């Protein structure tokens, strides 16, 4: 290579080889640089580098061992080995340790732990070298005040959204790691694409048996810099399997409609004269309707038992 208005020329040769053996990945590269001055004098620098990575388990989140080394013809070198892994199998918490030696600064080492939560990302680290010791702490997140209260969340993009699931805390979003509603029923969606359709969905597997969602997925098309509110409709109560019998001991007909005191449909009676209902009250009345007939059943739920997914109660429909 020749450069405008500069004397001499340079010549560079670079070779690289990358391969894998089972789960071991490695790379070897060699580089030669020659600088020729105007008077014909030449200086040469040769450099060789090796990089190796080895997963210590079959799963994507397994520990990973790495080694990197580079040296040149002037005797300068740098070599370091590292290990990183999840902490106790938590996919959102990681640690990493490194140790090495440098021809200029001698031995060095470092360690770091980081975790990502619904309230932000937190990191603690320590490093040590020949002439220094350093400890670091960092946190990145957000605090948003709105009409429904104040929420902590992850670091925000230019456009973000508030997600509301009324009276439901701990409801997680499916496509965003560690985003979940707080006790006030709100969550902060840290970023959204402006002027495009953004689908927002709840992970219903994380909800308890005492929550019914009328919609688990919705969409928004926000403007740049906007903060839209994404609302999900939810009913919260206690799941109860009512066994319905009439005053003469007979069963309620299959397909009969079970309604609350306001006439809102709750369930349909099955062949066993049973109906699984989400009751928002611990005591009250149910109306059961079929053909041109109806009956009313009053109930009183027992104290809540956390070990039960739902209650079973026998009631008489009069």
How confident is the model over 40-90, as pLDDT tens digits? 566 788 999 999 999 987 776 678 999 999 999 888 999 999 999 888 777
pLDDT of residue 307: 83
CATH domain 142-236 topology: Immunoglobulin-like (2.60.40)
**Contact in structure between 153 and 118 (CB atoms under 8 Å):** yes
- The Cα-based distances of 312 to 3, 273, 307 in angstroms read 86, 13, 13
Q: Please list, in sequence order, all residues whose beta carbon lies within 8 angstroms of the beta carbon of residue 300, skipping any fewer than 6 positions away.
A: 282, 283
The predicted model scores a pTM of 0.68
- How far apart CA 137 and CA 128 sit, in angstroms, is 15
More confident residue, 6 or 118: 118
Please state which of the ranges 156-170, 183-197, 199-213 shows the lowest mean pLDDT: 199-213
* CATH 2.60.40.2610 placement within the chain: 142-236
Residue 5 confidence class, pLDDT cut points 50, 70, 90: low
Give the pLDDT confidence of 238-259 residue by residue, as tens digits: 999 999 999 998 999 999 999 9
Enter the CATH code of domain 238-317.
2.60.40.2070
* CATH 2.60.40.2070 placement within the chain: 238-317
Give the pLDDT confidence of 112-166 residue by residue, as tens digits: 999 998 889 999 999 999 888 999 999 999 999 999 999 999 999 999 999 999 9
Kindly write down the DSSP assignment for every residue of 262-279, as one continuous string: T--EEEE--TTSEEEEEE
Look at phi and psi of residue 296 and say left if phi exceeds 0, alpha if psi is from -120 to 50, else beta: beta
Beta strands, E only, 105-213 = 106-117, 120-128, 133-140, 142-146, 149-153, 161-164, 186-189, 198-201, 211-213
pLDDT of residue 8: 63
């Amino acid at each position: 290579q020749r450069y405008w208005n500069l004397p001499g020329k340079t010549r560079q040769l670079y070779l690289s080889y990358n391969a894998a053996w089972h789960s071991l990945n490695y790379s070897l590269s060699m580089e030669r640089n020659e600088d020729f001055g105007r008077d014909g004098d030449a200086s040469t620098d040769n450099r060789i580098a090796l990089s190796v990575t080895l997963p210590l388990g079959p799963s994507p989140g397994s520990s990973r061992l790495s080694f990197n080394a580079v040296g040149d013809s002037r005797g300068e070198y740098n070599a370091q080995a590292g290990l990183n892994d999840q902490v106790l199998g938590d996919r959102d918490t990681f640690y990493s340790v490194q140790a090495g030696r440098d021809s200029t600064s001698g031995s060095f080492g470092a360690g770091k732990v980081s975790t990502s939560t619904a309230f932000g990302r937190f990191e603690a680290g320590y490093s040590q070298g020949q002439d220094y010791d350093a400890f670091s702490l960092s946190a990145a997140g957000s605090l948003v005040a709105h009409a429904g209260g104040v929420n902590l969340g992850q670091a925000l993009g230019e456009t973000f959204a508030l997600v509301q699931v009324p009276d439901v805390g701990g409801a997680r979003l499916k496509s965003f790691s560690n985003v979940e509603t707080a006790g006030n029923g709100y969550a902060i969606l840290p970023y959204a694409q402006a002027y495009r359709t953004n689908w927002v969905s709840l992970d219903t597997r994380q909800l308890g048996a005492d929550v019914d969602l009328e919609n688990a997925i919705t969409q928004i098309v926000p403007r740049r810099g906007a903060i839209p509110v994404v609302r999900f409709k939810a009913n919260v109560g206690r799941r109860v399997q009512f066994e319905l019998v009439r005053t003469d001991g007979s069963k309620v007909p299959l397909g009969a409609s079970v309604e609350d005191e306001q006439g809102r449909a709750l369930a349909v009676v099955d062949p066993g004269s049973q109906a699984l209902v989400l009751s928002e009250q611990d005591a009250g009345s149910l109306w059961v309707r079929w053909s041109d007939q109806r009956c009313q059943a009053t109930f009183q739920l027992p104290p809540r038992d956390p070990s039960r997914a739902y209650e079973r109660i026998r009631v008489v429909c009069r």
